[in-house]
Structure 1
């Protein structure tokens, strides 16, 4: 069985809904933490329920609803979610309540809603989906872990349609901690440019991207999901060899790739992984980037897959995501490569 991407939905730090492909995207060099562009939640969730939900849950529900609508389906056989930090806002609220109330008289609501699988559970409740429901919490490859699971189930004929997504949200306290330990760029820097950055730490973001994967090609199919692989640790000089063997396993060579999507996030300490590829092996290939729009977070690669799926369907690449000026007559095969702080490397391959 082959795996097709038949519907996509994305809520991010850009306006990625009710608009043409990244037409209204804004590249802001003055922010080190990007905020979500909120949709009209009341169109998807009742206001009473919405008030009790963390933004990650709401964004996940809306993104999944957009993907289902895009795929023209009412229900799916399974829901698989990837998240790095889960519902971190509710976790923060609960911990703050423990301290404020001297560990007494606590309401359990925030604790119940702070678990990582809240997003998948809420989507299932709204859709009345009683099938397989799983959440992967695996750092920067959480989304890829979910993708691999879904792909295996479709190829093994265990499911016909699966909703797969990556969701993460920012919490104020966690963001402050990330600034302290250097994961996010310091507030004192003058510019937060992602390409050619000279400072450590990343531009941070949040978002939810969902995909409907099915075993048959339809009129509204975006792309075919060829392969996904994850590797925990790699040295800078091993990346090219790994990519070549990954492509070879799919009977492809570097010259067959029509666009390469890289996870440049502005952290000068680890950009060498991407720069080596862009300047050497893939110098004749259109190279794209996306974290200047989405920010860095554990499941940011889901935003990249949303972007790559759009490119294959529209056959257009917006100027705002280009790293180099190389162009191809058609964009039929796209490779995505992501890593976070030198760990959790992932390769995803999609084709027309």
Structure 2
């Protein structure tokens, strides 16, 4: 019976070197929000910007925005996909190499075994990649130093702002300031004062002396020279002022607030490995190279049809429908790519010491897996 091994979406998420930098519509850096900056005042004190009444995650794209329909079914090449079993010589060579790499494995079974059967097992790996773009909006701010306040005019809708698309199928993030959303507000962190209470001395300007632990004396007869017997010294954090420059407004007392558009490009992956109940642990194939049989890329791919193994057709149909239901209404699907690989796996039956054993040779790298090697030393048995 066929088995399908599903893997979770990749989490990946740092911008690659080709992730677009810069700002809205090709403007200079001043219009690009910093990667990490002060937070904006509470949303309930901010003005309502038409088109941005509800800020938050997953700004839904318009129903007809970038909608693409698949053109035609993806047909597999007209040929057979069977791979013959490897030769006994190659299977023997791979097994000897494998046992020699295990310090507690005796080499006798690999040298003395007798082959009884080599079975080629067709194992397919199907992958569907759906490259999506999602947008979120939120208030942000920066210290106000007299910058031009771009608060006049109509703010463009979140999905009408043009943003260069990075390299396909690479995770990336970008933050852009939305035009015509700027406003000046008093700093909420310091109540417009430009300074905040020092947390170290609690606004007193003095802290306990570290030399005498606040006792004023280093011994019963010796007065502390550091604090002159008072037990307190000037606070090093604020210089004795009791307050420090507000880090939110950088001492200005005012903030330039604006709406930022956060764009996230993500490569969402559906991965399935389909074997024939061979008993081989398919998780071992994650880093294994296979023979690529089909690559299909389009803004919207159609499920594979006419593949000789019906399990692949069913898996492709399920994957395409799942990604369509998951992403079509919450973000923009930019591109899809589906691939089919054939991974060579040979199950080897051999006899040693009058008993039959099995091992697998898999991948184009000819790696070996076995769970019942017949000659291990004591320490391996304990482990």
Shorter-chain TM range is under 0.3
- Compute the TM-score of the two structures, normalised by the length of structure 1: 0.19
Compare relative contact order (CA 8 Å, sep 6+) and give the higher one, 1 or 2: 2
- Compute the TM-score of the two structures, normalised by the length of structure 2: 0.18
Rg larger in structure:
2
Structure ranking higher in strand proportion? 2
Structure ranking higher in helix proportion? 1
